[in-house]
């Protein structure tokens, strides 16, 4: 696996590919380099990126990551993107009232009132600080907020920790109503899992054409028309990695499933493990937590384990706070 310099070289043509010339360009700040998703790569890859940034400290390099236990390069200036305030979240939700789904049951004033009631309950300050912080962080994501708006308009009560699961249920009900049989979740999940193993992005339209069309109606997938050598074709992609992770995680569930053990160190499945913290039976989630802690202790890679522990802690607090 190459480093940052090699990755940049692969995207260039002509003299700029020359390593010495390229190093001078980077060091002089002639390039603006963006490195996204540091939380999605291995600890070794982050170490290579750190070394690169410290070597080219005069370059224009922007790095971004979700919350992550990581020591940034000594030469870097860090900025923390704060969650939206409750007022900003409300403003965003209310701005959606002009673009609600066609099957919306609540519109206008009724929609606005529902949004305000939902935020009052969801951001109740009587919750634990950890749970409240997690709620605010989830409500700061525009994609999740847009999904929350659509659910509220349909009369649903969004569960922020299971948004993709709710979105799937709504889509699957629509699919069953139109095709008179269940959405083939297991077969589709296994196909998406195999795609992840092969690092493929395009969904298998030939096998799941009807399913993808229904998913597009519910903003889970998007189609793109391509024209190659005079021949047009359509590619299908998930609308967001969170949606892809939801389907992959279905392939990780069930008794006697060895997939959670097989991919502990595979950064491609980070989002899947974080969903497992919410979806696995509690005893199984605790057992997986112990395996992730052992893995982190052995490898010094806490990319998954720390967030998994936090999510599972929030889940325990919710259960403890639920009346019997």
In 170-188, which positions are buried (b, 16+ CB within 10 angstroms) versus exposed (e)? bbbebbeeeeeeebeeeeb
How far lies 97's CA from each of 114, 137, 166, in Å?
12, 22, 20
Full-model pTM: 0.75
Predicted local confidence at residue 324, as pLDDT: 42
Predicted local confidence at residue 3, as pLDDT: 81
Report the C-alpha dihedral over residues 258, 259, 262, 267, rounded to 10 degrees.
Answer: -160
Predicted local confidence at residue 245, as pLDDT: 93
Predicted local confidence at residue 44, as pLDDT: 76
Q: Which residues contact 167 (CB under 8 A, 6 or more apart)?
A: 147, 151, 218, 220, 243
Predicted local confidence at residue 110, as pLDDT: 95
168 CB burial (10 A radius; 0-12, 13-18, 19+) = buried
Name all domains of the chain by residue range, CATH numbers in brackets: 4-63 (no CATH), 89-158 (no CATH), 170-251 (1.10.10), 262-319 (no CATH)
Predicted local confidence at residue 225, as pLDDT: 82
Q: Which residues contact 36 (CB under 8 A, 6 or more apart)?
A: 63, 64
Q: Which residues contact 222 (CB under 8 A, 6 or more apart)?
A: 216, 236, 237, 238, 239
pLDDT in tens, 198-237: 988 889 888 899 999 999 989 899 998 876 666 777 889 9
State which residues of the chain have pLDDT below 50. Answer: 323-324
């Amino acid at each position: 696996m190459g480093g940052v310099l090699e990755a940049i070289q692969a995207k260039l043509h002509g003299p700029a590919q020359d390593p010495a010339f390229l190093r001078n360009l980077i060091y002089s700040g002639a390039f603006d380099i963006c490195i996204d998703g540091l939380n999605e790569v291995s600890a070794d890859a982050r170490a290579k990126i750190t070394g690169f940034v410290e070597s080219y400290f005069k370059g224009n390099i922007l790095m971004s990551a979700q919350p992550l236990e990581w020591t940034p390069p000594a030469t870097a200036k860090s900025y923390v993107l704060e969650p939206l305030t409750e007022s900003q979240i409300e403003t965003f939700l209310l701005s959606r009232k002009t673009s609600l789904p066609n099957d919306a049951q609540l519109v206008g004033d009724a929609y606005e009132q529902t949004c305000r009631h939902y935020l009052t309950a969801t951001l109740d300050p009587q919750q634990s600080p950890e749970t409240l912080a997690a709620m605010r962080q989830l409500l700061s994501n525009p994609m999740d907020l847009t999904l929350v708006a659509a659910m509220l308009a349909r009369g649903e009560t969004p569960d922020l920790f299971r948004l993709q699961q709710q979105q799937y249920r709504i889509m699957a009900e629509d699919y069953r109503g139109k095709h008179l049989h269940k959405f083939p979740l297991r077969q589709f999940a296994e196909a998406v899992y195999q795609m992840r193993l092969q690092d493929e992005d395009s969904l298998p339209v030939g096998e799941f054409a009807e399913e993808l069309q229904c998913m597009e109606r519910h903003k889970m997938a998007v189609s793109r028309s391509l024209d190659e050598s005079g021949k047009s074709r359509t590619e299908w992609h998930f609308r967001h990695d969170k949606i892809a992770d939801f389907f992959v995680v279905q392939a990780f569930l069930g008794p006697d499933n060895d997939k959670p053990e097989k991919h502990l160190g595979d950064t491609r499945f980070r989002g899947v493990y974080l969903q497992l913290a919410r979806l696995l039976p509690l005893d199984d989630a605790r057992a997986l937590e112990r395996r992730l802690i052992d893995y982190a202790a052995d490898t010094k890679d806490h990319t998954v384990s720390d967030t998994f522990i936090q999510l599972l802690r929030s889940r325990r607090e919710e259960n403890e706070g639920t009346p019997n």
